[in-house]
Amino acid sequence: MDRTTGEPAPFVIVVQGPPQVGKSLLIKSLIKHYTKHNLPEVRGPITIVSGKQRRLQFVECPNDINGMIDCAKFADLALLLIDGSYGFEMETFEFLNILQNHGFPRVMGVLTHLDKFKDVKKLKKTKQRLKHRFWTEIYDGAKLFYLSGLIHGKYTKREVHNLARFISVMKFPPLSWRVSHPYILVDRLEDVTPPEKVHMNSKCDRNVTLYGYLRGCNLKKGAKAHIAGVGDYPLSGITALADPCPLPSAAKKKGLRDKEKLFYAPMSGLGDLLYDKDAVYININDHFVQYSKDDGTSAEGLQKATQRDVGVDLVKSLQKTRYSVDEKLEKSFITLFGKKPISPSEVPIGSVDAHDVADKEIPLEPVEKYQSEIVDEDDESDEDSDTEGEDDLESSDGEKKTIKKPSSKSIDESSEEETFYASEQHSPAQSNFKEQIDVHDGRVRRRAVFENEMVTDDKDSGDEDDSDSSDDDNTENGDDEYASSHSDSSADDEEDNEDEMGNVSKWKESLSERTAARRKINLMQLVYGKPESKSSDEMKEISDEGSEDDEFFKPKGEGNKISQKGIHENDVDIDDCSKFLSNVSLKDWSSDDMVASIRDRFVTGDWSKASLRNQLSKGTDGDEDDEAFGDFEDLETGQKYESHGTDEVGGSRKDNDLAAEERKLKKLALHEGNDGNDETKVSRGQTNASGFYDKLKEEMELRKQVNIAELNELDEVTRVEIEGYRTGSYLRLEFRDVPFEMVENFDPCHPILVGGLALGEENVGYMQVRLKRHRWHKKVLKTRDPIIVSIGWRRYQTVPIYAIEDHNGRHRMLKYTPEHMHCLAMFWGPLAPPHTGVVAIQNLSSNQASFRITATATVMEFNHAARIVKKIKLVGYACKIFKKTAFIEEMFTSNLEIARFQGAAIRTVSGIRGQVKKAAKEEIGNKSKKKGGATREGIARCTFEDKIKKGDIVFLRAWTQVEVPQFYNPLTTALQPRNETWQGMKTVSELRWENNLPVPVNKDSLYKPIERKQRKFNPLVIPKSLQAALPFASKPKDIPFRKRSLLENRRAVVMEPKERKVHALVQHLQLIRSNKMKKQKIKDDVKRKARAVELAKEEQISKKRQREERRGRYIEQEKQNKKIRRKTES
């Protein structure tokens, strides 16, 4: 959500492109177009006023990748310069990729060098080609601008004018990272280290001040910031300065006058005026400087000085600085309030010194001191008038003598003092304290600042300060006593009361103002304590209220509360309890008047009164305050009432008042038909219908208006305290103890980015990002190879571990990033919130041709612990095997480890699964393995589903935690000469390359052709006995071939005669049978043949007959047909 209010900071236009493409020339042309000034060279950001509502800041993007990354982070619009005659270069695409990952600001391409084309057709084609290529990278229709060529070494006026048009109508959408972080593009850097320190040690840490417009969101005091390329530093001081390049006043005229065409470029050495917190620097060219002649006769000068013009004196004195500053410092004394120059040579320098010293040693102090002094002065004058008034009063009333007396006394004393100091004036070497008195001639009271220093003096001069001379201790202890002792304050009360009674218009104003101012911070002071210096007044004021204003607006018991609070501050060991018990001074609510008092807080009470109560309280300090404090807040109420009134009643009026312009824009955006009063609920209801997005937008706008309304009520100081410095203000940031290299190697061409850090972003931890290798990077990335990442404002080198998430949520380590897929990367570094874009680079050097962006990523989450695992296989060997149990050795190193893995599943190579049981006991078989008396540890008893073999290798698959290295190295590119390449941690391969080391090879890991011997198996032998017992079906039947036939077959068979007879008979019978069969067969053949002939004959006959039949039938049919035809014809 965009929360910026007021006028926006100048939009940053980054001009980027490869070298020699015409970047500086483009900026120069644009500057010339806007301001009619010729810029000699482009160094650092150049701010110009481009229109009535718009300022621009041009930055030239340096050519190294660090500068490109930084520029991408603050660019509102990037002008990508492309050499048309050459085509796209890698820088453009690199820059585009960086832009995309750090929120995509507006981008416009500009083609230059188009005059190198002679052929018009070719030019046209090239333009077309480049345009389409450009579109694929951004979006279809992205603006690509053509600058046709140079005329007198400048781009043509018309084209520059057109380009300026495009820039001036461009809208800049808020980017989520930037609207949630304050950032400053530094356009000026000053080294404010005390010169002596630098003189003593030129390499001491420096204090620097950086200047620039605040962008993004509001910046609070005490925030931390990151200076890109330097590191994290706390902001030791912020001051809002006057805008060096303000928008023209909103007069009703068209266009810009020449006078208003301001531009501001301190690093380019342009613009003659420089504004600082406490000084304005005027640049005068050397040849314009002419020194007036020094008189030399100092004594005469001294004499004359008193008569002459003071300014002339000052200048003269400046001219004759003979001594160095610290020499003078030694001589001179500090004068804070010099009425007149005591000696013309001393005074101004002395005062300057005082400034310097104060400034450098305690830079925050002086402002407050001065302020307090100023306040003091005011007070004094007030008091003066008070006393006067009082005197008046008293003279008229003629009552309270107790008070009258001291006042008269003080007057007396003061007159005494006057004479005293008047006499002392003659001796010049006196402490300034007296001078101060001298200045405020008539005053007698209050010297809060000097009291502490001059206690003794005070004592001497008596209690001029206090009304009661009896309170001696009062002055001694100064302020604190004052507050606590009640008698004193009561005395003061009386005074005050008196003041109030006597309504003399003369002092009323100042008093009322004062009280008004005080009243506002009162409760805040109660809670937050007060600013250090002016304690006395405030404390008194508080105690005053405790007694005096009670009946007006403090609830009963408030006084008690204050005292309680007082106790509180001291009591550090109070019980931690949110319940507030002590206030229970219980009232009896049964009595009627008590009931009546809160009757209207209930729905049964008077609704109108209740609503009145709410209304009144909304219009808070409107009328009520008036009643309560008499006529104090005349001035204030007017304003306040206005703002409040509009708050509830006339919403539309407020709109008009506050941000008419803004609302108009918004309405345009929302396409709202209704007229102006969209604060009311009805119209909101209408817009609800138009969609979620519109509703969201509407809500945001409403929120913003509320914010503006609420914050505008506050006065400047409180507002800054509450919301910080607003965006668009020009700030001076002070950093202490910055390495001297930053100043030494400061190059205005490299813009410095100061980015504010949100809560928790300065912490370091593990970050998990979703990373994808860039498709143009040639190699995949290796785990533990250092990469340089740019996250948020930072750039640092870190060592990532890549991982991927398995289906069961496990983060498994990857050795290399996948080719075309996202993976997770875990690394250590300063944390960035989720959704932040990341760009990873491996090589910073700008002399390589390849694409430098290696990967892009988004932050997913951060953790304090990395949970990445990798696979591990524990291998063991069986050392003793029982039935299904085996002792496994070399898998674990200790019994403790075994205990850790009890129940883990294991497997052998042959596939037998098992489980780890327990460490093997000594007595069961571990004895034999004793080495020198001690039992070997780490032998585990495991069981398997089958008996394993001795040679089977057992392994256990497990996951082991991978440590992510706790390493990050911020890129300190701003601390070294810019042309040098920053050198960080090197990758292993780089180191090998440098040291000429070979890649270590594990022979076991090499792939070799697998040679497997043909295995010979022994034949299966079934024991005889078994074979015999087998049924025939199971007996082996594959009888092997024999050369010699079996004995059975070989031996001769001799038959018995009877047998022979039988045999012969059988043979005969067989012969007979076979003959018979033969004959029968022949007979059958003959029969079959005859039959076939007969069949054929019959067939022929039947065919013939059928044919005849058919013929007859057809003839018949024909006849009939003819008849029919004839019939029909006839």
Partner 1 sequence: MGKIQYMRLKGSQNLRLRLLLSTLSTTPIIIEDIRAEATWPGLRPYEVSFLRLLEKISDDCRVEINETGTSLKYKPGIVMGGRHLVHDCGTTRSIGYFLEPLILLGLFAKKPLTIRLKGITNDSKDPCVDTFRSTTLPMLKQFGVPSEGLELKIESRGVPPLGGGEVVLSVPIIQDSLKAITWIDEGMVKRIRGHTFSTKVSVQFENIMIHAARGIFNSFLPDVHIFTDHKAGQQAGNSPGYGISLVAETTSGCYISADTSVSYAQGKEEGELEEEKQELSPPEDVGIKIANILLAEIEQGGVVDSTHQGLLFLLCALCPQDVSKVRVGKLSPYGIGVLRHIRDFLGVKFVIKPDPSTETVILKCVGCGLKNLSRKIS
Question: Read out DSSP for 465-492?
Answer: SSS-TT-HHHHHHTHHHHHH-HHHHHHH
The residue (of 89 and 544) whose beta carbon lies closer to partner 1 is 544
Using the contact rule CB under 8 A, the part of the chain among 91-99, 382-390, 711-719, 1109-1117 near partner 1 is: 711-719
Per rule CB under 8 A, is residue 1032 in the interface with partner 1?
Answer: no
364 binds partner 1 (CB under 8 A): no
Judged by CB under 8 A, the stretch of 390-398, 478-486, 713-721, 1100-1108 that binds partner 1 is: 713-721
**C-beta closer to partner 1: residue 567 or 1064:** 567
Q: What is the DSSP letter of 925?
A: I
Both tokens assigned to 442: 């008539």
- Which residues, 6 or more positions from 334, have their beta carbon under 8 angstroms from its beta carbon? 350, 351, 353, 354, 357, 432
Give Cα 882 to chain centroid, integer Å. 64
573 binds partner 1 (CB under 8 A): yes
Q: State yes or no: residue 586 binds partner 1 (CB under 8 A).
A: yes
The residue range among 117-125, 340-348, 602-610, 934-942 that interacts with partner 1, by the rule CB under 8 A, is 602-610
Q: Nearer Cβ to partner 1, position 1 or 142? A: 1
Closest to partner 1 by CB, 707 or 845: 707
Query: Measured from the CB of residue 523, what is the shortest distance to partner 1 in angstroms?
Result: 4
- Residue 495 corresponds to which tokens in the numbers above? 């005074």
**Contacting partner 1 within 1040-1099 (CB under 8 A):** none
Residue 763 engages partner 1 in binding (rule: CB under 8 A): yes
CA-closest candidate to residue 541, choices 557, 524, 166: 524
Check binding of 951 to partner 1 (CB under 8 A): no
Can you read off the two tokens belonging to residue 713? 């009520």
Q: How far apart are CA 770 and CA 826, in angstroms?
A: 9
Nearest-approach distance from CB 593 to partner 1, in angstroms: 12
Q: In the numeric block, which tokens belong to residue 95?
A: 């820059």
Which among 277-285, 438-446, 827-835, 1041-1049 is the span making contact with partner 1, rule CB under 8 A? Answer: 827-835
Nearer to partner 1, 554 or 782 (CB): 554
With contacts defined by CB under 8 A, name the span among 314-322, 426-434, 859-867, 897-905 that binds partner 1.
859-867
C-alpha 657/C-alpha 676 separation (Å) is 12
Residues 963-992 that bind partner 1 (CB under 8 A): 966, 968
By CB under 8 A, tell whether 849 contacts partner 1: no
Task: Give the shortest CB-513-to-partner 1 separation in angstroms.
Answer: 18
- Residue 527 within binding range of partner 1, rule CB under 8 A: yes
Classify burial at 84, counting beta carbons within 10 Å of its beta carbon; exposed 0-12, middle 13-18, buried 19 or more. buried
Based on CB atoms, which residue is closest to partner 1, 612 or 1072? 612
Q: Does 588 bind partner 1 (CB under 8 A)?
A: yes
589 binds partner 1 (CB under 8 A): yes
Sequence-ordered list of residues with C-beta below 8 angstroms from that of 78, at least 6 positions apart, any chain: 13, 14, 16, 71, 72, 95, 99, 105, 106, 107, 108
C-alpha to C-alpha distance for 1002 and 278, rounded to whole angstroms: 70
- Which range in 38-46, 284-292, 400-408, 704-712 contacts partner 1 by CB under 8 A? 704-712
Find, among 208, 164, 201, the residue nearest to 51 by Cα. 164
Pairing of the two strands 940-944 and 913-919: antiparallel
Q: Is 899 in the site for partner 1 (CB under 8 A)?
A: no
Question: Which residue of 251, 279, 603, 682 would you call a contact of partner 1, by CB under 8 A?
Answer: 603
- Applying CB under 8 A, among 199, 339, 565, 1107 the residue interacting with partner 1 is 565
Distance CA 614, CA 711 (A): 21
Q: Figure out which of the listed residues 62, 833, 876, 938 binds partner 1, where binding follows CB under 8 A.
A: 833
861 versus 922: smaller Cβ distance to partner 1? 861
| Widest CA span in the chain | 187
By CB under 8 A, which span of 21-29, 620-628, 893-901, 1029-1037 interacts with partner 1? 620-628
Binding window for partner 1 (CB under 8 A); candidates: 116-124, 301-309, 586-594, 1061-1069:
586-594
Packing angle between helix 505-528 and helix 716-723, nearest 10 degrees? 10
Q: Which of 241, 598, 1090, 1093 binds partner 1 (CB under 8 A)?
A: 598
Q: Is the dihedral of CA 609, 613, 615, 621 positive or negative?
A: positive
Q: Are 738 and 960 within 8 A, CB to CB?
A: no
Q: The tokens of 983 are what?
A: 């050198």
DSSP characters for 389-417? HHHHHHHHH---HHHHHHHHHHHHHHHHH
Exactly one of 372, 718, 895, 915 binds partner 1 (CB under 8 A); which one? 718
Q: For partner 1, which is the closer residue by CB, 68 or 733? A: 733
Decide if residue 692 touches partner 1 (CB under 8 A).
Answer: no
Query: Shortest distance, CB of residue 770 to partner 1, whole angstroms?
Result: 9
Instruction: Please name the amino acid found at residue 1112.
Output: G
Amino acid (1-letter code) at residue 375: V
The single residue among 658, 860, 904, 958 that binds partner 1, judged by CB under 8 A, is 860
Binding string, residues 206-225; x marks residues near partner 1 by CB under 8 A: -----------xx-xxxx--
- Nearer to partner 1 by Cβ, of 455 and 758: the residue is 758
Size of the site for partner 1 (CB under 8 A): 95
The answer to whether residue 616 forms part of the interface with partner 1 (CB under 8 A) is yes
| Shortest spacing between CB 96 and partner 1, in angstroms | 25
Rounded to the nearest 10°, the torsion over CA 724, 725, 731, 733 is 10
Report the C-alpha gap between 182 and 84 in whole angstroms: 37
By the rule CB under 8 A, 303 interacts with partner 1: no
Q: Kindly identify the residues of this chain, within the stretch 722-741, that bind partner 1 according to CB under 8 A.
A: 722-724
Task: Kindly state whether residue 613 participates in binding partner 1, applying the rule CB under 8 A.
Answer: yes
* In contact, 247 and 50? CB cutoff 8 Å: no
Applying CB under 8 A, among 459, 486, 587, 779 the residue interacting with partner 1 is 587
| Cα–Cα distance measured from residue 971 to residue 952, given in angstroms and rounded to the nearest whole number | 54
Stretch that binds partner 1, among 8-16, 392-400, 417-425, 828-836 (CB under 8 A): 828-836
Please tell me whether residue 552 binds partner 1 under the rule CB under 8 A.
yes
Least Å from the CB of residue 304 to partner 1: 55
- Judged by CB under 8 A, the stretch of 61-69, 703-711, 732-740, 924-932 that binds partner 1 is 703-711
Selected binder of partner 1 within 6, 19, 40, 605 (CB under 8 A)? 605
Helices of type H across 170-240: 176-179, 195-200
Task: Concatenate the DSSP letters of all residues of 777-845 into one string.
Answer: SSS--BTT--EEEEETTEEEEE--EEEEE-TTS-EEEESB--SSSEEEEEEEEE---TT-EEEEES---
Using CB under 8 A as the binding rule, the residues of this chain from 154 to 193 that contact partner 1 are 180
656 is an interface residue for partner 1 by CB under 8 A: no
Other C-beta atoms within 10 Å of 99: how many?
26
What is the C-alpha separation between 355 and 325, in angstroms, rounded? Answer: 12
Among 294, 571, 922, 980, binds partner 1 (CB under 8 A): 571
- Whole-number Cα distances in Å, 784 to 50, 869, 965: 50, 14, 8
Does residue number 578 form part of the binding site for partner 1 (CB under 8 A)?
yes
Q: Which of 71, 416, 116 is nearest to 228 (CA)?
A: 71
Of 229 and 829, nearer to partner 1 (C-beta) is 829
**Does residue 716 bind partner 1 (CB under 8 A)?**
no
Q: Which is nearer to partner 1, 405 or 703 (CB)?
A: 703
Asked if residue 864 binds partner 1 (CB under 8 A), the reply is yes
